[in-house]
A and B are shown apart, each in its own frame.
Chain A
Amino acid sequence: MGAGHAHSRILAGVIANRSDLPVVLPFRLGAGTGAAGAWRPGPPHAVALAIALAVFVVVGDAQAAPGTPSILTTLLKWTPLLATGFLLNIAISFIAMAAGTVAGTFLGLMQISLLAPVRGVAWFFTQFFRNAPWLVLLFYCMLLLPFELQIGGTVIPLPAWMKATAGLALAVMANVSELVRGAVQSIPFGQWEASEALAFSRRQTLWMIILPQCVKRMLPPWMNLYAILVVGTALASIVGVNESMTLTGDILAAENRTELLVPMYLYLLLWFFAYCYPIARATVSLERRFQVR
């Protein structure tokens, strides 16, 4: 087959949008704009994970030196420790989500302020933190925040996990800020006009008429953001927080068995999956419910 022929086939494939050759298909932005919202776990992922885990357990056991405990027994042995680490992941995600949502709501409202300077400042902070890699934010918080705070006479220690939580909260804040701004702007202008004609003040209109309608629109992407945040908490292992990812590394170091490497990380993956999958399902069903207007 000549090069020219192949080339024309690729072109034809691109145009016809179907080809057995590896072509770049037209890229379409999903409903959720931005990086968030792209990946969602589904049942096939769970099946694939479970099969992979089973295969590696069997293969690993076959490779193991005689006399060593089976991989399943080893996984079960470390489960309580892994659970404590995973609980820290959940705690970090809860606190970062709560703090980020509160801060992000106010930042988002500042983005739609009538005062241009307020809008400008809010826009800057939103864009700055939204476009910074989460890991960079984590490092900044680890290095810039002191290990303890002294307020008056009391000393408040700032452990590493708290600093990591602050870093993740900044990322959440910026994303929530955009969610709020986008949701407010998606409400038809007629709602503002009708409220104005009924003598509502701008503040009343915002809090009693616009924002209640936004909550419904924001809930699915907000839950999506939370699922992404939970997965993102594993980043805290890089800055030395003793969460499940760090502990998995510690366990592997302690066991010092190469056949354990893949099953152990797959096992951890299953934990995250089990936690995030129901959230993803709920998000999808909410989206479906809210679509009808």
Chain B
Amino acid sequence: MATAPAWTPAEPLIRIADVHKAFGAVTVLSGVSLEVMKGEVICVIGPSGSGKSTLLRCINALVPIEKGSIQVEGQEVNDPKLDKLALRRKVGMVFQQYNLFPHKTALQNVMMAPVHVLREDKAEVEARARRLLKKVRLEGKEASYPGELSGGQQQRVAIARSLAMNPDVMLFDEVTAALDPETVKEVLVTIRELAEEGMTCLIVTHEMGFAREVAGHIYFTDRGVIVEHGPPKEFFANARDPRTQQFLSQIL
């Protein structure tokens, strides 16, 4: 956008300010503000239905917002003239239900978007896709179809698929919620490696142990607002708000 001010890494990569969103009569977000700096790992926790997933979908414009502002690298997402495709190239997203394309192999799943959306050279993309699959420990599964893979393997293909677009930030939407307990770990390990490499991550999760370990900052949402936030040590040790205390006592 010509009107967008130049963004520098010193400013927040994602800046969410007073965002409101309702589905019909149901209010999902009522004044959420949050900032993510480049290289930061943010975890958002909170009870089901508190608007966490909706917040993520607002960031890459899958869901429009009614009021407030969301900026990704200085670009206003709520702008009607927004180039959605340009935004989505910067923002990778991984879903709870993986949503892999069942008619394509793991390798093809990873290659599709760079080849057809970014129109990159096929041989180059293939080399990158193989590298990414290796990185998520799926070497040898390139030719497997999603139906032939376990949930954890599918989710790691989905992570590789998203990474293939070379995004600046990754959004994880309860990516382990649909997995068997024994496969949860392999996915979390993959995400932690990404975080350690400096990838900016915004993670919605129910895995408290993981959040404590990986997050630089934790946000707790309930009924469409951010109740409390802070560094994990402080957040888990001395939660001040009664709602947070109650939630943590139920989970931990």
Chain B residue contacts of A206, Cβ below 8 A: none
A198 pairs with B97, CB closer than 8 A: no
The contact of A197 among B60, B102, B112, B147, by CB within 8 Å, is B60
Supplied contacts A190-B95, A196-B62, A213-B103, 6 more A-B pairs, CB within 8 Å: A194-B100, A197-B60, A197-B93, A197-B162, A200-B116, A213-B101
Chain A residue contacts of B93, Cβ below 8 A: 194, 197
Chain B residue contacts of A204, Cβ below 8 A: 116-117
Give Cα distance in the complex from A191 to B91, angstroms: 17
Shortest beta-carbon distance, A224 to chain B, in Å? Answer: 22
A199 pairs with B89, CB closer than 8 A: yes
The contact of A193 among B85, B99, B102, by CB within 8 Å, is B99
Shortest beta-carbon distance, B122 to chain A, in Å? Answer: 15
For this complex, 16 residue pairs linking A to B, each with C-beta atoms less than 8 Å apart, are A193-B62, A193-B99, A194-B99, A194-B158, A196-B62, A197-B60, A197-B62, A197-B92, A197-B95, A198-B112, A198-B162, A199-B89, A199-B117, A204-B116, A204-B117, A213-B102
| Given A190-B97, A191-B99, A197-B88 contact (CB < 8 Å) | yes
Determine if B165 is an interface residue (Cβ-Cβ < 8 Å): yes
Contact with A along B159-179 (1 / 0, CB 8 A): 001100100000000000000
Determine if A209 is an interface residue (Cβ-Cβ < 8 Å): yes
Determine if A216 is an interface residue (Cβ-Cβ < 8 Å): yes
Give Cα distance in the complex from A191 to B100, angstroms: 7
Chain A residue contacts of B62, Cβ below 8 A: 193, 196-197
B95 pairs with A198, CB closer than 8 A: no
Give Cα distance in the complex from A188 to B101, angstroms: 11
Chain A residue contacts of B89, Cβ below 8 A: 199
B161 pairs with A198, CB closer than 8 A: yes
Name the residue of chain B whose CB is nearest to the CB of A194.
Answer: B99
Give Cα distance in the complex from A208 to B108, angstroms: 12
Shortest beta-carbon distance, A39 to chain B, in Å? Answer: 31
Chain B residue contacts of A199, Cβ below 8 A: 84-85, 88-89, 113, 117, 165
Determine if A293 is an interface residue (Cβ-Cβ < 8 Å): yes
Give Cα distance in the complex from A143 to B161, angstroms: 57
Give Cα distance in the complex from A197 to B112, angstroms: 13
Name the residue of chain B whose CB is nearest to the CB of A293.
Answer: B147
Chain B residue contacts of A200, Cβ below 8 A: 113, 116-117
Determine if A63 is an interface residue (Cβ-Cβ < 8 Å): no
Chain A residue contacts of B158, Cβ below 8 A: 194
Chain B residue contacts of A194, Cβ below 8 A: 93, 95, 99-101, 158
Chain A residue contacts of B147, Cβ below 8 A: 293
Determine if A201 is an interface residue (Cβ-Cβ < 8 Å): yes
Chain A residue contacts of B92, Cβ below 8 A: 197
Determine if A212 is an interface residue (Cβ-Cβ < 8 Å): yes
B103 pairs with A198, CB closer than 8 A: no
B95 pairs with A212, CB closer than 8 A: no
Interface residues of B in 65-101 (CB under 8 A from A): 84-85, 88-89, 91-93, 95, 97, 99-101
Contact with B along A168-201 (1 / 0, CB 8 A): 0000000000000000000010110110111111
Shortest beta-carbon distance, A191 to chain B, in Å? Answer: 6
B103 pairs with A212, CB closer than 8 A: yes
